A and B are shown apart, each in its own frame.
Chain A
Amino acid sequence: MIEILSYPFMQRALIAALLTGLIAPAIGTYVVQRRMSLLGDGLGHVALAGVGLALLTGAAPIPIAVVACVAGAVLVEVLRQRGKASGDVGLAILFYGGLAAGVFLSGISGVGAGGLVQYLFGSLTTVTTSDLTMVAALALVVLVPTLGLAPQLYAVSTDEEFARTQGLRVRLYHIAVVSLAAITVALAMRTVGLLLVSALMVVPVAAARNLVRGFTAGLICAVVIGVVTAVGGAVGSFYANAAPGAFIVLLAIAVFMLSWPLSYLLRRRRTAAVLPESVDDDELPAPHTVTESHPHRHAPGCGHPALQHGDHTDFIHEGHRHAAHADHYDEH
């Protein structure tokens, strides 16, 4: 670990990874809440158009990509609000228009589409000091409203109509969310890359939902997962000599996979704490009254009301509760 920190390029790489891991899940929480999980992906393609333009004009790529990305995001959001395009059609136009423009512009700039690769997959170890300053400034621009306006953004993302009756300017907040997501995508092109940044906006959020209860707790948990996997992936890729962007995203997906069984265990512990102490099986007299001849076979949807009873289902049959047991039904 100390060895890593002695390289200035790795210091910059780790800080850039940390900032990406911090802001991508933070804004991603609202994007996922609005069911626009693929927004980041579409914005990544638009950022590519910005990179192409930067290659053509010789300007710095990040600022141009930020402008292109925000403009594309606002355009799609306005079209959606006006009812001119549904969410997914708007995103599709964003995808293909951005990608085509990026490849086209890089082609006529003489660099060719190959020049785009480092932005598609990120190049954490080549982050310069001026890149880092830019990334840090933009991260602050994203983080301040994401946390400071959390109650407003939460309300707008979960129940738009109610938010309007609270006097919130819902359209402006929606535009703010997509713009902040656009900035996040554009600055992540130096870290995890444009193709993979969307994963860092979505996967930690999904994992956090399995692990904690509530929106605020989910936001905090997602940010923690994002920071840990981003820094962990950057360190891991140094030793494994692997691509950092890919390493970071695979690590985040691993956390998500682990969150499944973990959520099951957590829920069982919570339920156990709420329920009264379970009775020892040996003490149960095991009531076991067998129904008399029963030609009908109960199954979900058989017409008899089903009732969850402990670990099995009872079917209500002429005022009796029938539970399947071996080849007969028990009275419960």
Chain B
Amino acid sequence: MLVGASPVLEADDLIVELGGLPVLRRVSLSVKAGEALALMGGNGSGKSTLVRALLGLLPHERGAVRLFGLPLRSFRQWSRVGYVPQRSLALLGGSKVKEVVAAGRLAHRRPFRPLSRGDREAIHDAIAQVGLAEQLNTDIAALSGGQQQRVLVARALAGNPDLLVLDEPTSGVDLEHQGVLADVLAGRLSAGTAVLVVLHDVGALGDLIDRAVVLSDGRVAHDGPLGDLGQHHRRLGGHEYLDHGRVAADDHGEGAESWLGGAVEP
């Protein structure tokens, strides 16, 4: 994997509050070009909040976010960013697959101009990459949950981004199709795209991940190689989830680990 020197995405001491309550407490992280960073942690640990704050979808109280070296406030090169949200109202129906994906080209387009040939090619290419070429004109609501997730991935790929931010792209997707996503991401990584992916469990993406940041109660509990995370968890609870291809990156410390230990056959 080609890992460049310049950070594509950086957060310094980020503090985010929702409804007056601190959700992120001094979170720092960075992703370089060609690097795949997994953002992990239990439910409510602040993963989605962090992703949304990094993209400017939520305001932050303190700290700084820089995209491609520019402060978020003055960042305008949105064509370099591809975002795969966890859910989207676009999935409610009334749109064709290609219409949803076409929205991923908007940062490249000017108002009052039709789709260019390059736009069309990028849209068709992105849909083909996620294996939905046959479903180009299908209503999005007629697809399965896993296929809908892939449409959202295609929408982010259509912009040909240098930074891909994916919020739980594998939830509800079977292992075979997680493999499709892993291939797509591997291709982007080797082309130098930086990837920040929120994962609940590593699944088929394990081999791609260069580094994992684990959030716990709004703080960074771990920042390092995925392999070390296994150690970290072994130390905490004595369960080798990595050997099962799963990392239960829970944020409730030892108590939760032993609870999991009770639920999972040793």
Contact = CB atoms under 8 A, between A and B. Distances in A.
A164 B81 CA distance: 11
B106 A155 contact: yes
Interface residues of A, number: 24
Given A163-B106, A167-B78, A149 B111 contact: yes
Interface stretch (B27-35, B96-104, B177-185, B211-219): B96-104
Given A167-B76, A214-B137, A215-B99, A162 B109 contact: no
Given A162-B83, A165-B57, A214-B96, A151 B139 contact: no
Q: Which of B52, B56, B99, B100 has the most CB of A within 10 A?
A: B99
A163 B106 CA distance: 8
B7 interface: no
A166 interface: yes
Interface in A273-289: none
Contacts of B89: 158-160
Contact of A215 (B78, B83, B96): B96
A167 B115 CA distance: 17
Interface residues of B, number: 31
B85 interface: yes
Contacts of B83: 161-162, 165
B interface: dominant SS: mixed
Q: Which of A33, A158, A163 has the most CB of B within 10 A?
A: A158
B88 interface: yes
B107 interface: yes
A164 to B, nearest CB: 6
B95 A166 contact: no
Interface string A132-171: 0000000000000000110110110011111111111000
Report the 6 A-B pairs with minimum CB-CB distance, sorted nearest first: A167-B78, A214-B96, A166-B106, A165-B83, A148-B112, A155-B103
Given A158-B95, A166-B78, 4 more contacts: A151-B109, A151-B115, A155-B106, A216-B99
